[in-house]
Amino acid sequence: MLVSPRDESDVLDAVRDALADESPLAIRGHGSKAALGRAATPAHILSLAALSGVTLYEPEELVLTARAGTPLREIVALLDAHRQQLAFEPMDHAALLGGVRDDATIGGVIAVNASGPRRVKAGAARDHLLGFRCVTGRGEMVKSGGRVMKNVTGYDLSKLVAGSYGTLAALTEATLKVLPKAETEETLLLSGLGEEKGLAALRKASGSPFEVSSLAFDPRDDIAALRLEGPQISVVKRRDDLAALLGAATQTLDAESSRAFWMRLRDAEPVAAGEGVVWRVSLAPTNGFAFVESLRREAAPLLAHVYDWAGGLVWLRLEAAADAHAGVIRRHVDRLGGHATLIRADEATRAAVEVFHPQPAALAALTRRVKEAFDPRHILERGRMRAEF
């Protein structure tokens, strides 16, 4: 059954009814991320799509408040008209998961702690969520944080809610820090370095003072890409200085091509097309290549991969398998330090394999206690992140 509240107090009632009936709720915006997470079969779907609209936007204060179901594209268009942006550059999951492009809601963006290639400089959704209102799994209306940039009043529950996949609370309203858009951007491409040297060049650039905002390596084209953003005069100078520092054959993408390049990478398009399971792996930048080499040595059936975050984020597509190759992937991620998330696989696989990286026992137990502090009856998104809750 689909429950479609019109406002916050309807959401409160819906969660209380679900608690009374003991029938778990899945939370939906536009459903663009419905195939993310463990496959679970909740009794009802709570649609937040009708809770839509920007309720506060003060460009000079760098702050925007929107109801959870507000389409991301509406927020982006509004910010764009004031030459501002969500600096964390949330990815669009359509290329990976199918569905309509540009159809996310802001609630969904926060629920998965979305980010993009600019993560290394500007942070993820977690770094921009200043405050929120929600209905917890206890059926209570709770607010946290505020609408100002600097706030340490009480626990920073924004961090918990970002990336919680709706398992703690149904977000009803979010207040975000917004930032000016860069005047322009360019991307420097280095080709022919090979994977290992190309990634080393990215790390060298990331340790330079030239404020590189995104650093990726695409092995298929053997291209290392470095994005520079800012005032024209600064971008040109930094591009030249960076090219001199790296001393490799270079080519430059102008603003328009640069934007298109990073949007494609943001959405994991280099690995998206074609059959197979897709993993997203976060590691220390120096370990990205070592990780992929380990998979090759073990003859894991790698179909495509691409590196972002100077090697710290690896997108992988492998041949489909019952366990999605979780064993070999997680063994090497655990050895190197990091986490691996199964982003795309069929439902049976996502029900059988831990989609989110397993945790050591003490951390798993604490995680469960935190879940139950918000949702003791496991009424929200039961089974979405962990089989136990």
Partner 1 sequence: MPLIMPPPEPAILSRRDEICARLRRILPPASVIADETARRAYECDALAMYRTLPLVVALPETVAQVSAILALAAELNVKIVPRGGGTSLSGGALPLEDGILLGMAKFNRILDVDFENRCARVQPGVQNLAITRAVEHAGFYYAPDPSSQIACTIGGNVGENAGGVHCLKYGLTTNNILGLEIVLMGGEILRLGGKHLDSEMYDLLGLMTGSEGLLGVVTEVTVRLLQKPLAARGLLLAFPTVEAGARCVGAIIARGIIPGGLEMMDQATIRAVESFQPCGYPLDAGAIVIVELDGTPAEVDHLVAEVEAIARAEGAMETRVSRSEAERLRFWAGRKNAFPAVSCIGPDYLCMDGTIPRRRLPDVLTRMDELAKACGLRVANVFHAGDGNLHPLILYDASKEGDIERAERLGADILRLCVEVGGVLTGEHGVGVEKRDLMGEMFDETDLAQQQRVKCAFDPQHRLNPGKVFPTLHRCAELGAMHVQGGKLPFPDLPRF
User: Judged by CB under 8 A, does residue 31 bind partner 1?
Assistant: no
Task: Tell me which residues in 329-388 interact with partner 1 (CB under 8 A).
Answer: 337-339, 341, 356-357, 359-360, 362-363, 366-367, 369-374, 376-377, 385-386
Site residue total, partner 1 (CB under 8 A): 100
Residue placing its CB nearer to partner 1 in the complex, 234 or 303: 234
User: Judged by CB under 8 A, does residue 178 bind partner 1?
Assistant: no
Task: Tell me which residues in 66-85 interact with partner 1 (CB under 8 A).
Answer: 83-84
Task: Tell me which residues in 208-267 interact with partner 1 (CB under 8 A).
Answer: 208-211, 230-231, 233-234, 237-238, 241
Burial class for 236, CB neighbours closer than 10 Å (0-12, 13-18, 19+):
middle
- The Cα 281–Cα 77 span in angstroms is 31
User: Judged by CB under 8 A, does residue 299 bind partner 1?
Assistant: no
Count other Cβ atoms within 10 Å, centred on residue 352: 16
Give 241-273 as a DSSP string: HHHHHH-S-EEEE-HHHHHHHHHHHHTTHHHHS
**Which residue in 4, 151, 191, 257 binds partner 1 (CB under 8 A)?**
151
Residue placing its CB nearer to partner 1 in the complex, 103 or 226: 226
Task: Tell me which residues in 49-68 interact with partner 1 (CB under 8 A).
Answer: 58-63
User: Judged by CB under 8 A, does residue 160 bind partner 1?
Assistant: yes
Which residue in 187, 132, 195, 204 sits closest to 164, CA to CA? Answer: 132
**Which residue in 127, 267, 323, 334 binds partner 1 (CB under 8 A)?**
127
Task: Tell me which residues in 89-108 interact with partner 1 (CB under 8 A).
Answer: none
Task: Give the three-state DSSP class for 343.
Answer: strand
- Detail the DSSP E strand segments found in the chain: 2-3, 25-28, 44-47, 54-58, 63-67, 84-85, 129-136, 141-145, 169-177, 179-180, 184-191, 212-218, 223-230, 250-253, 277-283, 302-308, 313-318, 338-344
Task: Give the three-state DSSP class for 213.
Answer: strand
Residue placing its CB nearer to partner 1 in the complex, 27 or 103: 27
**Which residue in 72, 79, 162, 316 binds partner 1 (CB under 8 A)?**
162
Which residue in 108, 97, 80 sits closest to 267, CA to CA? Answer: 97
Residue placing its CB nearer to partner 1 in the complex, 99 or 163: 163
- The Cα 215–Cα 218 span in angstroms is 10
Which residue in 55, 32, 27, 59 sits closest to 175, CA to CA? Answer: 55
Residue placing its CB nearer to partner 1 in the complex, 104 or 182: 182
Minimum distance of partner 1 from residue 145's CB (angstroms): 8
**Which residue in 4, 16, 50, 73 binds partner 1 (CB under 8 A)?**
16
Residue placing its CB nearer to partner 1 in the complex, 115 or 258: 115
Minimum distance of partner 1 from residue 138's CB (angstroms): 6
Using the contact rule CB under 8 A, the part of the chain among 38-46, 101-109, 120-128, 315-323 near partner 1 is: 120-128
User: Judged by CB under 8 A, does residue 181 bind partner 1?
Assistant: yes
Minimum distance of partner 1 from residue 108's CB (angstroms): 16
